[in-house]
Amino acid sequence: MIRKNIDVMNKVDEILNEELEEKANETKKPVEEPKIIPHKKYTSPVMVYALGGLGEVGKNTYCVENDNDLIIIDAGVRFPEDELVGVDYVIPSYKHLKDVNQKIRALFITHGHEDHIGAVPFLIKSVNVPVIYAPKLACALIRQKILDQKIKTSVKLVEYNDTSVVTAGSFKVSFFRVTHSIPDSYGICIDTTEGRIVTTGDFKIDLTPVGPDIELHRISTMGEEGVDLLLADSTNAEKEGWTPSEKNVLNAINDIFDRAHGRLIISTFSSNVSRIQQILDCALKHDRKCIIVGRSMVTAVDCARKFGYIRFPDSYFKDVSDLKTLKDSEILILCTGSQGEAMAALNRIANGTFKGISVSFGDTVVFSSSPIPGNGASIAKVVNQLTRMGANVITNQIIKDIHSSGHPSRLELKMNLKLFKPKYFMPAHGEYHMLKLHGDIAKELGMPDDHVFILANGDTLILKDHKVTQGERLQAEDVYIDGYDINGVSTAVIRDRKILHDDGMVSVLVLLDSKNSRLISPPRVNTVGFVSYGKYENHLTRHAATMVEEGLNELFNSKHVTFNDIKNTVRSIVSKYYFRKTQRNPMIIPLVLDKRENLPAARKK
């Protein structure tokens, strides 16, 4: 067995070395150095606030602003809950940024996850952002987004690293490397005339990472120099102990490969590059060819391979069309859909609508991720469907080590606070209870209550002369994106969709002779997506029609009637009747048609 493993690893090294040699000979495009803008000596209070990321997981958008300058840190999306029917993304309202557009100096990106870069296309179409500074991998992903959406923009994309220093207006910005579930993750330090602000971005303190170490020495140095305000990731503030290292996952994944005798289908976040590399390492060790499905997975793997973050032989990548020529034991399908998303590859495979791939008895399907809050029901639906089709489904609830979070647990949060030693603290990126727990940790370590700020999106902090106080509130509403329309869907439309989703619709057709104030025929009531009571349903519609007829005849006899009076009467009668009978509130749509010869007069009126 030992000899076999040595032979396999020698084979792996041989294939990889050949490919690396070929790629080393290719002409490499030089990395453009960040442009240093002359520093402006200008003094004014500095305002810090979030347009997204507080009271929620996702939609991270933080701003630092003074009288002359404004910089934005991250521009993320939040994925919609099930009740947001037809919504693709939730993004922040950019109304305030539009009002102060002339102040915007730059957008800084901490890393390439969707909840930090997903809204970049919507942001740059809404306001003028002169330049975006981002790590190498995030830069590549943003370029692809702009290309995919065919956005014509003059925004400049500039790569930064841990040695870069950028001056944007009166702000001096530097970067420190952190460990997370995607390469090229950074925290950001902003030096202002009023004091120093630091945001960790998403991080965890992984002492055996897959990739470079977190720069604890830089963090400690900043703490010794003095940090006035710290913003830190709160996503795992409710979890005790220490977040397991990403390397712990490797043994669990390897064990799954050992036990899977048929096809292996693994779903994870497309942006979790470290996890993808571990899966591919196991595939190579077990001589499995990899088929990648799902647009975001294909894009992420292509970008990561281009910059050397994923190493895997070209000859081991196959297409869906190659499935027929491969043995089941030689196949790995790596796909999107670990959160049960309706249009993701895994959901379509489970429903039998993905061309060329279907689940059969003997397949092993692995969810190598933890559910994002609100996605549990969607994931359970996909798991049940896959199980019905004969697959052996493995989730993180069954084998705990097939996923390791990229966020810090309580001991890491304590260590982070001890190293930074901030004077003031603003927990960031998390639902309210996560922010509150993170704030309690800071107080437990000795920080005064009035130096810890548990804020909501739109709340502001004012930094002046190294002291922080709470300021006035800004507008920070949600915008619901349906497709690529940056105007979003109004709250009223979302409310209507929810009513249709939960309670259905009742339409009432009224044929009217407005000249003589009478009904031409009895009203007709129809229900759509409302309720099914068999024969009793016909009774409900007939009774509702009778009540509408009686109500309208009474209305015609009482006063001069307008079309709005008729519609309001119909809505009132039908909604009260159906709620009394079914305890539901369907959407009521009155359709009032006037007699043909009355139409010109009615229009004039």
The set of catalytic residues is 233, 407
Cβ–Cβ < 8 Å for 574, 548:
yes
Name, in order, each residue with C-beta under 8 angstroms of 385's C-beta and a sequence gap of 6 or more.
350, 351
Query: H-helix or E-strand containing 172?
Result: strand 171-178
Q: At what angle do helices 248-259 and 273-285 cross, to 10 degrees?
A: 40
Close Cβ partners of 95 (under 8 Å, ≥ 6 residues apart) = 475, 477
* Strands of the 424-428 sheet, one edge to the other: 165-168, 171-178, 185-192, 195-199, 229-233, 424-428
d(CA 120, CA 123): 5
Write out the E strands in 368-446: 392-394, 424-428
Q: Which residue type sits at 419?
A: L
- Classified as helix, coil or strand, 236 is coil
Q: Which residue has the tokens 């229009």?
A: 603
Secondary structure class of 231 (helix, strand, coil):
strand
Q: Which single residue is written with the structure tokens 């000859």?
A: 315
In this structure, the strands spanning 392-394 and 165-168 are unpaired
Which amino acid, residue 269?
Answer: F
12 three-state secondary structure? helix
Q: How far apart are CA 254 and CA 249, in angstroms?
A: 9
CB 480 within 8 A of CB 80: yes
User: 525 - beta bridge partners?
Assistant: 508
- Closest to 416 measured CA to CA, from 76, 181, 179, 72: 179
CB atoms within 10 A of CB 549: 16
CA distances from 321 to 59, 209, 326, 355, 356 (A): 37, 36, 10, 10, 7
Q: Residue holding tokens 């009778």?
A: 546
Check: CB of residue 440 under 8 Å from CB of residue 267.
no
CA separation for the pair 585, 576 (Å, rounded): 9
